[in-house]
């Protein structure tokens, strides 16, 4: 029994009743990913905050871990026909939010009919643990991401050793790719560089290379206008490019 129920105060009784009702409403909980289904795009998540449970006989309160949340839809940022995906692994931290109404009908049937139709809920439950959505990437201080850029947008690994960095200053945009290996699987790659396209390091190209500008290697022009030194007729080799 809540001790406030002993008070001769209507206000305290109402507050106690509202507090009891709030304990039955679920809004959001930090969780750990237990498993991920890459086909259904759902996960099983373990809530990480226990709840107090009062023994009706002894009146003692103990902390109880909530059960696993199953078949929780995982959110991937998307829109306009494009989606950002990432691997979801066991042990990832996530925030699971709970819908204010039953989402079962929406989950199975969606809103794909034309004209748009509303799907009635299968149950009248509200703020229930069964109606969660997982937002992976919420982090506790114990697992905070190191070296977050405060001046650019990055798509990166946790270590930061592999990243794509986008920044702009005075109207000039810069894209920086940091990685040991960069692989381009493409049928046609076009680079429009108005001034200079510069690569430092080895490049393995499987396919045709077409250049409409000056192509240089180690400071030597390899375009259509380059010349060689030490040219003589016969079977001798030419010298190096000039």
**Is pLDDT at 91 greater than 80 in this prediction?**
yes
For residues 204-225, average pLDDT: 73
205 falls in which pLDDT band (50, 70, 90)?
confident
20 falls in which pLDDT band (50, 70, 90)?
low
**Is pLDDT at 25 greater than 60 in this prediction?**
yes
8 Å CB contact between 27 and 95: no
Separation of alpha carbons 232 and 219, rounded Å: 24
Structure tokens at 16: 């106690």
For CA atoms 24, 29, 34, 37, give the dihedral sign: positive
**Mean pLDDT score of the chain, rounded to an integer?**
84
Structure tokens at 79: 């829109």
Position 84 scores a pLDDT of 94
∠ CA 235-237-239, nearest 5°, is: 150
Separation of alpha carbons 171 and 191, rounded Å: 20
Pick the residue with more confidence: 57 or 235?
57
What is the gyration radius of the CA atoms in the chain, in angstroms?
31
For residues 141-165, average pLDDT: 94
pLDDT, tens only, 181-190: 888 888 888 8
Pick the residue with more confidence: 74 or 16?
74
When mean pLDDT is compared over 22-26, 88-92, 121-125, 225-229, the highest value belongs to 88-92
Structure tokens at 19: 């507090």
Residue in this structure with the two tokens 């069964």, named with its chain if needed: 130
For residue 137, give the nearest of 67, 201, 86 by alpha carbon: 86
Contacting residues for 70 by C-beta, under 8 A, at least 6 apart: 44
Pick the residue with more confidence: 79 or 224?
79
∠ CA 220-223-225, nearest 5°, is: 95
**Is pLDDT at 228 greater than 80 in this prediction?**
no
**Is pLDDT at 99 greater than 70 in this prediction?**
yes
Residue 228 CA: distances (Å) to CA of 36, 209, 218, 242: 61, 21, 15, 6
Position 1 scores a pLDDT of 53
Residue in this structure with the two tokens 């930061």, named with its chain if needed: 160
User: Which long-range contacts link 228-237 to residues 24+ away (Cβ below 8 Å)?
Assistant: none
Position 8 scores a pLDDT of 67
Residues paired with 134 in a beta bridge:
74, 96
Position 53 scores a pLDDT of 84
68 falls in which pLDDT band (50, 70, 90)?
very high
For residues 189-208, average pLDDT: 77
For residues 194-221, average pLDDT: 75
**Is pLDDT at 90 greater than 90 in this prediction?**
yes
**Is pLDDT at 122 greater than 90 in this prediction?**
no
The number of C-alpha atoms within 13 Å of 153 and in the hemisphere containing its C-beta is: 6
Q: CATH 3.40.50.620: does it fit domain 1-144?
A: no
**Is pLDDT at 5 greater than 60 in this prediction?**
no
Q: Give Cα 152 to chain centroid, integer Å.
A: 17
For residue 218, give the nearest of 238, 201, 232, 239 by alpha carbon: 201
């Amino acid at each position: 029994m809540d001790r406030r129920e002993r008070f001769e105060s209507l206000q305290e009784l109402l507050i106690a009743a509202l507090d009891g009702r709030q304990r039955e409403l679920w809004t959001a909980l930090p969780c750990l990913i237990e498993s991920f289904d890459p086909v259904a795009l759902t996960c099983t998540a373990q809530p990480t905050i226990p709840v107090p449970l009062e023994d009706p006989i002894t009146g003692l309160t103990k902390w109880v871990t909530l059960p696993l949340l199953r078949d929780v839809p995982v959110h991937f940022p998307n829109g306009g026909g494009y989606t950002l995906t990432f691997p979801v692994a066991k042990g990832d931290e996530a925030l699971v939010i709970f819908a204010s109404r039953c989402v079962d009908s929406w989950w199975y049937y969606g809103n794909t009919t034309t004209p748009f139709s509303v799907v009635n809920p299968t149950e009248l439950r509200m703020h229930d643990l069964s109606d969660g959505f997982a937002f992976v990437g919420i982090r506790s201080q114990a697992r905070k991401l190191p070296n977050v850029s405060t001046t650019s947008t990055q798509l990166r690994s946790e270590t930061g050793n592999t990243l794509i960095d986008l920044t702009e200053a005075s109207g000039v945009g810069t894209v920086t790719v940091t990685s040991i290996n960069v692989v381009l699987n493409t049928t046609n790659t076009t680079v429009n560089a108005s001034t200079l396209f510069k690569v430092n390091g080895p490049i393995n190209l499987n396919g045709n290379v077409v250049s409409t500008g000056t192509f240089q290697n180690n400071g030597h022009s390899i375009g259509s206008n380059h010349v060689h030194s030490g040219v003589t007729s016969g079977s001798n080799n030419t010298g190096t490019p000039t």
